[in-house]
Structure 1
């Protein structure tokens, strides 16, 4: 099965809309949208819609395309995307994303930090659902020959990835390793500095070229954090924040999710572990031990 890349602009069929589409001109004039940071993060405008306004082409199109792909190829619960279109705002083309307003989100990232929740049945349910979601993402077909690891977004530059795109797993791992364990330039030739340099080089070589997790790129959320995983009152999770998703080496989901939590938090040492499948600890261990 070949991956079909959604085309933008996108508008859901009229019969699927819960309410008429808002006018972007009116949205741009609303007081809530005068803060560009909040506007890009998304603001609820009524009982039906959340609007992300003022997105640049890279973030706007990537989030829209990724949400449509996840909706088509998986049963993972995400907010419904109703529309995504460019809009000329004060002479600059920005993107408008119109999403489902989801009610009854019972917990947020602070919930994960509470000791009484660390061994709860709900926590076990969240882990199980994240494992199921990861398996579903693996089944999204890779775009194939001619696409790099960032897959369908090969035409766009993504600011989160430092404007880099990768054609091989080694290139992707090189970027991730440098991002998490910077190579400090030695100021001298002390024993400590020499030991660190050797340790860094050894871990780097192993991470970029010799991991047992394999090199096959799989569809990856790449930004799983406590704030991206919402839990509804019925216990089902809702996964948000798909703007950085794409095709990456298989250990990236686990490693980036682990690093997204606070040091020693229940998220890093409990929730994210469910994504490792007992296979990708090698990658995290290399990063952790070198970073120490």
Structure 2
């Protein structure tokens, strides 16, 4: 009889949830716009060419689940009643397009079972609670076992995977609309933080930046999911700058002690949090998922099928490496990625990219294509993983504002770099229309950026990742097939590499051997002068700080873009490259001196060398 009663209750659940949604919409005068939105859904899905949100198929999924999702997006947009249906439609379309690109999925514990002790989901009466145990010391220890913990982008995707898991649990358990919300408790361990000390770099910065990037995605993609947020003993360096919108701040509590949680959630919480209930592990809704992860950890991942291009990738970098070392595994698509950046969270379909319009058509070389709201991909001739490595180094080791690196990989010998699209004015278009105060602000930021880059020392000259140099000085003309320049272990070797580039600009005549007696005196003197450059430090440099590569936001914050020529270079290189660019004013060289230390002699020698090579 008990089993029959449970079955009956399950059969009634959709009707109860449906009635609960209708009741809520009626009470808040949202029934009419909801019905309008429902009638527009087929055309919306057709435009998006995708229909999944939170694991629910909006085209063919359960009626009550589809209605619940539409209602949540409608409620979020209702804070501004004007154009309510249109705003909701736009938010849904934006979310669908982003999910079509990223394809977020529930977190798979088989990929990183070590993370199981950081997240729990419990249920007390009709309220689900997600517990996040932010133990920085353990996270630091585990990041050596789970490389994805070293990247703020990967951290963001791990966190979103847990949110997807939470949503799945909510929809499976909910019988009323109000149960499709959850509370979140973030338990920060106070002994991990050094009060009064401002830390800008290191792993805490990775955590902070990851959380900063995650919040906008959660706010826009998971509306009306959060009922209450409790943060216990927050570290100011991590939480004080979070971009929490007002409606989230209104339901946020900052608690000084873990035991204060019981005052808000009741006595069923564990003793650590002031209650008398079971421990988190004993009351965990993720228990089944964890057990699957432990079982799967010892199994082999089959890569007999090609990489699912355009779909989310679940393999960790360790799994990928071990599979590549297994002789019987067959990889049908040549693929590689940077271990420092981490395994890409998704891979684009090259055929789809052919249909996307270019951001800078007719420019030649690399293609830059917008692929979603706020995202673009750079790929094609001249694009290397070294550019993504440089962008990663700048964003993780400095406070320089750069595009957010989302993913980078090489697929079938083509490098793809997926990053955020930065809106603003190009400095070359803006400079002469700015006031002296605005110019001073821009120059100050550039000076700080250059100083931070110069503080990062190198032990070779070349692209990040110990790869060949990339600069126009090495691309002047003919060169032997497969010829690369660098990396160089010393400045002397680098100078000889440039001399070699001089020699390679003309194809040799049959039977002819290079001879210093056969070159003009002026070129001989240029070579010898170049060889006199010695004793310079090797530092990290952008390599192309032209006004075209500096985006200025409305508040005059600058964003430095296009890191394709960045790498470890002699300390004079940044000044030389910044002064040989096309000036935007007659006195631009004088402006450059304000943010890059000048090297007049070295720059003159390199300018003469470049003139010989290109002439």
The alignment's TM-score, normalised by the length of structure 1, stands at 0.70
d(CA) in 1 for partners of 2:402 and 2:584? 27
RMSD value over aligned CA atoms?
A: 4.0
Shift of 1:241: 1.0
Going from structure 1 to structure 2, the CA distance change for 1:287 and 1:217 (only over 3 Å counts) comes to closer
Map of 1:189 onto structure 2: none
d(CA) in 2 for partners of 1:157 and 1:284? 18
d(CA) in 2 for partners of 1:127 and 1:178? 37
Going from structure 1 to structure 2, the CA distance change for 1:229 and 1:249 (only over 3 Å counts) comes to same
Asked whether 1:225 is paired with 2:550, we answer no
Q: Is the 8 A contact 2:426 2:547 kept in 1?
A: no
Map of 1:257 onto structure 2: 578
Shift of 1:237: 1.0
Going from structure 1 to structure 2, the CA distance change for 1:150 and 1:22 (only over 3 Å counts) comes to closer
Going from structure 1 to structure 2, the CA distance change for 1:210 and 1:66 (only over 3 Å counts) comes to closer
Asked whether 1:101 is paired with 2:426, we answer no
Map of 1:150 onto structure 2: 462
Map of 1:205 onto structure 2: 528
Shift of 1:201: 5.0
Map of 1:194 onto structure 2: none
Report SS of the residue matched to 1:95: strand
Going from structure 1 to structure 2, the CA distance change for 1:288 and 1:61 (only over 3 Å counts) comes to closer
Q: Is the 8 A contact 1:39 1:52 kept in 2?
A: no
Q: Judge which range, 169-178 or 92-101, deviates more.
A: 169-178
Q: Is the 8 A contact 2:426 2:549 kept in 1?
A: no
Report SS of the residue matched to 1:63: helix
Q: Output aligned runs, 1:1-292, within 5 Å.
A: 12-13=154-155, 14=157, 15=159, 16=213, 18=217, 24-25=348-349, 27-32=352-357, 40-53=366-379, 55=380, 59-87=383-411, 92-103=412-423, 105-112=424-431, 114=432, 117=434, 120-142=436-458, 144=459, 148-150=460-462, 152-156=464-468, 158=470, 160=472, 161-162=474-475, 163-165=484-486, 166-173=488-495, 204-210=527-533, 214-262=535-583, 265-267=586-588, 269-278=589-598, 280-286=599-605
Going from structure 1 to structure 2, the CA distance change for 1:173 and 1:252 (only over 3 Å counts) comes to farther
d(CA) in 2 for partners of 1:260 and 1:68? 25
Shift of 1:226: 1.2
Q: Is the 8 A contact 1:78 1:239 kept in 2?
A: yes
Q: Is the 8 A contact 1:59 1:243 kept in 2?
A: yes
Per-residue CA distance 1:23-72 (angstroms, 9 max, x = gap)? 6126324242697967934222332211123x36x733011111111111
The alignment's TM-score, normalised by the length of structure 2, stands at 0.36
d(CA) in 1 for partners of 2:495 and 2:585? 24
Shift of 1:109: 1.5
d(CA) in 2 for partners of 1:36 and 1:199? 37
Per-residue CA distance 1:103-157 (angstroms, 9 max, x = gap)? 2x13441333x3x54x722222222221111110122242x4xxx3116443457
Shift of 1:78: 0.4
Number of matched pairs: 255
Report SS of the residue matched to 1:24: coil
Q: Is the 8 A contact 2:408 2:417 kept in 1?
A: yes
Going from structure 1 to structure 2, the CA distance change for 1:274 and 1:42 (only over 3 Å counts) comes to same
Q: Is the 8 A contact 2:407 2:418 kept in 1?
A: yes
Q: Is the 8 A contact 2:544 2:566 kept in 1?
A: yes
d(CA) in 2 for partners of 1:48 and 1:136? 27
User: Which one scores higher on RCO, CA 8 angstroms, separation ≥ 6?
Assistant: 1
- Consecutive unaligned residues of structure 1, counting only runs of 5 or more, are 1-5, 184-196
d(CA) in 2 for partners of 1:47 and 1:12? 20
Per-residue CA distance 1:209-250 (angstroms, 9 max, x = gap)? 246xx3221111111111111111111111111121111111
Q: Is the 8 A contact 2:454 2:540 kept in 1?
A: yes
Q: Is the 8 A contact 1:149 1:167 kept in 2?
A: yes
d(CA) in 2 for partners of 1:37 and 1:289? 27
- Consecutive unaligned residues of structure 2, counting only runs of 5 or more, are 1-146, 160-212, 222-311, 313-344, 476-483, 506-519
Shift of 1:252: 0.5
Report SS of the residue matched to 1:218: strand
Report SS of the residue matched to 2:580: helix
d(CA) in 1 for partners of 2:591 and 2:499? 22
Map of 2:308 onto structure 1: none
The higher radius of gyration belongs to 2
Q: Judge which range, 59-68 or 158-167, deviates more.
A: 158-167
